[in-house]
Amino acid sequence: MTRTNASIAHSIRATATAIKSGGWQVSNDSENPYNPVKNYIIFNVIPNSTTNGLDVFGAFMRIERLKTPTESEYFNLPAGLTKLTQKQMQSPGIVCPNGELSTTNQRNGLAYNLWLRARVAPRAPFCVPDPLGLYFCPR
């Protein structure tokens, strides 16, 4: 298994709260409407007894979008669970979140849950749709 060491900068107002699964939810000052962080802003951190490490899952991503035609706002989007089955992911040409083709993952005997692990955290989109269906691309 590939181990990834990654770091994400947090503000001095970041908080960690214990959750029922035995891990923590880390908020990077997500309730502050003026916090300019754009990317994942709330994470779930779960101990992994198999690897003796921590699994980190993005729970909310902050984007900047148009509130009105002339005013932008920061908005937190919840990250949904992946609902694709392994059978759906097995088609030739499918690139998995781990960066490999599904056929490569199959050939290497990689467990399905590892197909869905990104090597690096995704970045917030540069352009986002506004409530009117137009696109806002901050400069």
Q: What percent of the chain stands above pLDDT 70?
A: 86
Contact (Cβ atoms closer than 8 angstroms) between residue 98 and residue 115: yes
CA distance 28 to 23: 16
3-state secondary structure of 107: helix
Contacts 24+ apart (CB under 8 A), 92-101: none
Considering only residues 27 and 9, tell me which one the structure prediction assigns the higher pLDDT: 27
User: What's the whole-model pTM score?
Assistant: 0.69
How is residue 47 written in tokens? Answer: 């101990």
Domain locations along the chain: 15-133
How is residue 50 written in tokens? Answer: 């198999």
- The pLDDT of residue 23 is 92
Q: What percent of the chain stands above pLDDT 90?
A: 15
Contact (Cβ atoms closer than 8 angstroms) between residue 102 and residue 113: no
Considering only residues 111 and 80, tell me which one the structure prediction assigns the higher pLDDT: 111
- The listed range with the strongest mean pLDDT (15-24, 61-70, 91-100) is 15-24
